[in-house]
Amino acid sequence: SQTIHQWPATLVQPVGSPLSLECTVEGTSNPNLYWYRQAAGRGLQLLFYSVGIGQISSEVPQNLSASRPQDRQFILSSKKLLLSDSGFYLCAWSVGGGGSEKLFFGSGTQLSVL
């Protein structure tokens, strides 16, 4: 069966520090991978998605970047965190591409930038 691992569960970082959140998927090949953020009052906002290694689509211009160095690995990064980067970050995966896709989410990372 497929599983998704996301870590760390919580993170407290000072403003201006770098960030690296990692997500890996097991039990499936060539998944579509996603990073979402849940910020207060904003619902689930799509940040990045990837349909293959090295292929990244950015939905919202911001202080973050994403990379997909391996088929089942998705990394969210920042060189210098801002206060506004605080939020609950969720990695998700799906398979298909022909529509009618369900997303399966990881357990999330609560990031607090102080």
Partner 1 sequence: DQQVKQNSPSLSVQEGRISILNCDYTNSMFDYFLWYKKYPAEGPTFLISISSIKDKNEDGRFTVFLNKSAKHLSLHIVPSQPGDSAVYFCAASWGNTPLVFGKGTRLSVIA
**Site residues (vs partner 1, CB under 8 A):** 6, 9, 34, 36, 41-46, 49, 59, 88, 90, 92, 97-108, 110
User: Who's near 114: CB < 8 A, 6+ residues apart?
Assistant: 12, 13, 14, 15, 83
Give the CA radius of gyration of the chain: 14
Q: How far is the CB of 77 from partner 1 (least distance, A)?
A: 20
CB closer to partner 1, 3 vs 18:
3
Q: How far is the CB of 2 from partner 1 (least distance, A)?
A: 13
For residue 22 the two structure tokens come to 């990692």
Q: How far is CA 96 from CA 2, 28, 85, 100, in A?
A: 14, 11, 31, 8
CB closer to partner 1, 51 vs 53:
51
Q: How far is CA 77 from CA 59, 74, 101, in A?
A: 15, 10, 26
CB closer to partner 1, 5 vs 80:
5
Q: How far is the CB of 89 from partner 1 (least distance, A)?
A: 10
Secondary element (H or E) of residue 6: strand 3-7
Q: How far is the CB of 13 from partner 1 (least distance, A)?
A: 18
CB closer to partner 1, 14 vs 42:
42
